[in-house]
Amino acid sequence: MNQVQKLLIIGFVWPEPNSSAAGGRMMQLISLFKAQGFNVTFASPAQNSDFMVDLQEYEVDKKSIELNNSSFDFFIKELNPSVVLFDRFMMEEQFGWRVAENCPDALRLLDTEDLHCLRLARQKAFKENRLFKTTDLFVEEIAKREIASILRCDLSLMISEFEMELLESVFKIDPSLLYYLPFLLEPIDGAQMQELPTFEEREGFVFIGNFLHEPNWNAVQYLKDTIWPLIKKSLPEAVLNVYGAYPSQKVLQLHNKKESFLIMGRAIDAQEVVQEALVVLAPLRFGAGIKGKLLEAMQCGTPSVTTSIGSESMHGYLPWNGFITNDIADFVDRAVQLYQGKTIWLKAQQNGLEIINQRYSKGLFESDFRTKIEFLCSNLQQHRLNNFMGSILQHHTLKSTKYMSRWIEEKNK
């Protein structure tokens, strides 16, 4: 790739790395493409927010776009990007046909974040008090939309190996359309570990997570009603600080000083509050993807207690940086053990370091990703010929979505 390549990212929202793992992930992708020499433009139909990152600081052009408006067609034709990255399938649904029509030679990438259909099907099973089965996915309307989007794109970036296997085995997606690219972190060395607060310098438990995300809100309710009262019985002096962006009135009402269950709202510096705690609690009962809060715990040298959903696809065959359990009594016991036992705590901290360095170090992925993008850009026609189902969907979607969008555009006039 000799000439300057242009990347257009079509964002569901403007990136907020301090509010959610998704925002952090997006900034990692921008950094990855910038390192490959791409000029990056970030476009979104979302409203500006108080907590969005200043894209200009990262030498990224910012562009507001409108849904169902042909002004986008003129914009993308003029920009003429070589690669377009859709941030979640909803953006591909809205803009994918316009990209295909106006820049047919642009490589179309989808960043799935997590499988929305998996998260929603698990949530439904949980609410109906039954076990989730993979066949539940077939009745989710969102699964049909999400899988269609994956098939229409040239490559989907996946952060979870479990979800890749699910797409291949349950939905029969061709592996050539999927690419494993987890969170990309700087490796941690011994000197950096020495700078972290020691066991003795820390206190309390912490939960952190964006409250617009239903699994987080559910986990906080679970902590308040079930888990925290039991931990408090064993550790009367312990405090739980609950941090998260966008807390609703319902969340704020859980604040209870007498029970040492403290709703702290948005953390100004998430790493700082996690570093000050002895243990991260993450009793997630449904969800998908990999959990930014648990990777952040490892980066901060803070052991965690979580569930099988929380740890899914995160640690491979390496031991967890704390404990994984779905049993309430065991969850409480493990939390107390980590809180009181320095030896077990230090071992858990070391495990977290190994997971970061062996599974998320960005150096493990940069070169292979560059090669993959270069190969696809050079062999796009053949790659698309091999994806016949995708071309069928592209053909029909172009017709149906296009005319629906044109109709809305006329109506809006």
- What does the pLDDT look like over 188-243, one tens digit per residue? 988 898 999 999 999 999 999 989 899 999 999 999 999 999 999 999 999 999 99
Segment among 119-128, 284-293, 395-404 with least mean pLDDT: 395-404
Q: Could you count the other beta carbons within 10 Å of the beta carbon of residue 276?
A: 16
Locate the DSSP E strands across 184-247.
Answer: 205-208, 240-243
For the chain, state the CA radius of gyration. 22
In angstroms, how far apart are the furthest CA atoms of the chain? 68
Half-sphere exposure in the Cβ direction for 262 (13 Å, CA):
12
Q: Render pLDDT for 45-68 as a digit per residue (tens, 0 to 9).
A: 999 988 899 999 999 999 999 998
Are 322 and 306 contacting, i.e. CB atoms less than 8 angstroms apart? Answer: yes
Residue 407 has pLDDT above 90, yes or no: no
Half-sphere exposure in the Cβ direction for 150 (13 Å, CA):
28
Which tokens in the block code for residue 126?
A: 């949980």
Half-sphere exposure in the Cβ direction for 271 (13 Å, CA):
11
3-state secondary structure of 102: helix
Q: Render pLDDT for 243-274 as a digit per residue (tens, 0 to 9).
A: 998 899 999 999 999 999 999 999 989 999 99
Q: Comparing 6-184+363-412 with 190-360, is the CATH topology the same?
A: yes
Which tokens in the block code for residue 167?
A: 């797409």
CA distance 133 to 139: 11
Contacts of 301 (CB under 8 A, 6+ apart): 193, 196, 197, 275, 349, 352, 353
Length of the chain counted residue by residue: 413
* DSSP calls for 250-294: HHHTT-BTTTTEEEEES-SSHHHHHHH-SEEEE---S--S--HHH
Q: Domain 6-184+363-412 adopts which CATH fold?
A: Rossmann fold (3.40.50)
pTM for this structure? Answer: 0.92
Tell which CATH architecture fits domain 190-360. Answer: 3-Layer(aba) Sandwich (3.40)
Of 29, 87, 89, nearest to 60 by C-alpha is 29
Residue 19 has pLDDT above 90, yes or no: no
Are 115 and 140 contacting, i.e. CB atoms less than 8 angstroms apart? Answer: no
Residue 2 has pLDDT above 60, yes or no: no
Domain-wise residue ranges, the chain: 6-184+363-412, 190-360
Please report how the helices 141-152 and 89-102 are oriented relative to each other, as an axis angle in degrees rounded to 10. 40
Burial call 356-384: b when 16+ CB within 10 Å, e when fewer? bbebbebeebeeebbeebeebbeebeebb
